[in-house]
A and B are shown apart, each in its own frame.
Chain A
Amino acid sequence: MKTLVWVEYDAAGIKDATLSAITAASQLGEVHLIVAGKGIDGVAADAARIAGVGKVHVADDAAFDHALAENVAPLIVELMGHHDAFVAPATANGKNIAPRVAALLDVMQISEILSVESADTFTRPTYAGNAIATVQSSDAKKVITVRGTSFAKAERSGGSGTVEAVASTGDKGLSSFVGAELSKSDRPELASAKIIVSGGRALQNSENFHSLIEPLADKLGAGVGASRAAVDAGYVPNDYQVGQTGKIVAPEVYIAVGISGAIQHLAGMKDSKTIIAINKDEDAPIFQVADIGLVGDLFKIVPELTEKL
């Protein structure tokens, strides 16, 4: 079985989520990659060095910049003539592109898999992670997105893939990129952080979030997350959100500060290795999943904790 994996990258290089998708794909068979964009020789060379990678298809054309699904999906469909499965990380980009590819191929996508049971059988979460379904696909070709936190990352070195240019399928003229407003941060990215400190509505405002949560995170070298309530209230931008509708994380240590632990939030973090909760309400649902809990006022506890670390 030949699988084609979508390579997601940014200015800093190939993203970790791609490496997890490659591990999942390698459980299906031979791994090929598709790198699309403009001026991407460096990314293609990095991709070829990833352990276990066979061929790297490179599509160099401005039409593929910013991964517009309207332009990228036909390119992938073309390559799927020679592949049995398309695998993408379940990132915003992967979720945007893969279903468009699936429909063009007339197959059902299997979203956000947690494991590969066999070549046609996979497990995936439903109902905000409250039920794990094992599904078997009857489609000849498989289109799959992969939950990054459920698969180890492939090694970035040790591979010797061959790089091959593929013809561009061109700009379909349906959409164009206008601009991006990306949050800048020196902290580790949420999806790959070993430690995450997350704040909730109890922080009360943006100033408190920055003055309490961020120093604690910096002390621990941690990424910063937030509950939906904190995002909706405008304390932090929405790309901080951990949950069913935000990011799914599984760090070594997740510290939830002033977060009650709604179903929606737990869906995004309950696979963390150790969960620590700081909350003044001792009946908060978060304490039912926390390994270590501390009941008390976060406005006293957090500064004290930051200082003592």
Chain B
Amino acid sequence: MKILVPVKRVIDYNVKPRVKADGTGVDLANVKMSMNPFDEIAVEEAIRLKEKGVATEIIAVSIGEQKSQETLRTALAMGADRAILIVSETEVEPLGVAKLLAKVVEEEAPGLVILGKQAIDDDSNQVGQMLAALTGRPQGTFASAVVVDGDSVTVTREVDGGLETVKLATPAIVTTDLRLNEPRYASLPNIMKAKSKPMAQKTPADYGVDVAKRLTTLKVVEPPKRTAGIKVADVDALVAKLKDMGVAA
């Protein structure tokens, strides 16, 4: 089967984001950008399924500005076979992304779509579920294990009380949790090889999808600041503090 892996270019997870002084958003000028960590896990899972002989072809897709090419090259260097970039210089919301991906799914007919469970910039946690809804496919969200068996896929999901296992009919949509796998690093030869792998360029208009935003961001502010408090010298002083707070008897 083919596997489709959507990836997003986001601010690097180690960077502390700075809110712009005019309250219009987060300052991304000259900030290190990387592949969304959950998407790396999705790419890795797809490659492992190919190595097991389950997948025949891996298609990475990204929606965003031209620079998202770098993110797709990273996916190709890890082991994806080809890439599709849907160029939009303005931000596309999860609903728009899901609609575009639904069109790609229609064209490519993958047996599985593996996405990250959320992007670490907008923290929405929506696209996979929306794509499943729009394509009428089952969803295995927050996956920590994925086993493909014939025409079904068994997904172990991270839920609030522990783990839950569901069986989905393929074609299916899976979103990854952090513990699904440990993504590999792309080697230099593979990075070189990735440069000659095919990358198609499209626009939302090519798919006839209206990506007009439904949510308007009125302002973005920093959260209330917490400041450092006091340091106590020893356990006795800490116990006294806990007693003052009524936490300890």
Contacts and interface: CB of A to CB of B under 8 A. Distances in A.
Interface of A: 10, 66, 68-70, 73, 91-93, 95-104, 106-112, 121, 125-139, 173-183, 191, 195, 219-220, 228, 231-232, 237-239, 244-245, 247, 252-253, 263-264, 270, 274-276, 282, 287-296, 301, 304-305, 308-309
A295 B129 contact: no
B94 A293 contact: no
B215 A180 contact: no
A175 B168 contact: yes
Given A183-B162, A239-B161, A253-B247, A111 B239 contact: no
Contacts, number: 256
A175 B169 contact: yes
A252 B93 CA distance: 35
Contact of A181 (B17, B162, B241): B162
Interface of B: 11, 13-14, 16-17, 19, 25-26, 93-95, 98, 117-118, 120-134, 136-142, 144, 154, 157-169, 177-179, 213-223, 226-232, 234-239, 241-242, 245, 247-249
B216 A136 contact: yes
Contact of A96 (B26, B142, B221, B222): B142
A95 B141 contact: yes
Contacts of A135: 215-218
Contacts of B93: 108
Contact of B11 (A69, A127, A181): A127
A153 to B, nearest CB: 17
Dominant SS among interface residues on chain A? mixed
A111 B245 contact: no
Contacts of B217: 133-135
B247 A100 contact: no
Contacts of B245: 253, 274
The 10 closest A-B pairs by CB, nearest first: A291-B229, A99-B129, A103-B133, A103-B130, A174-B138, A108-B214, A99-B126, A182-B162, A178-B165, A175-B138
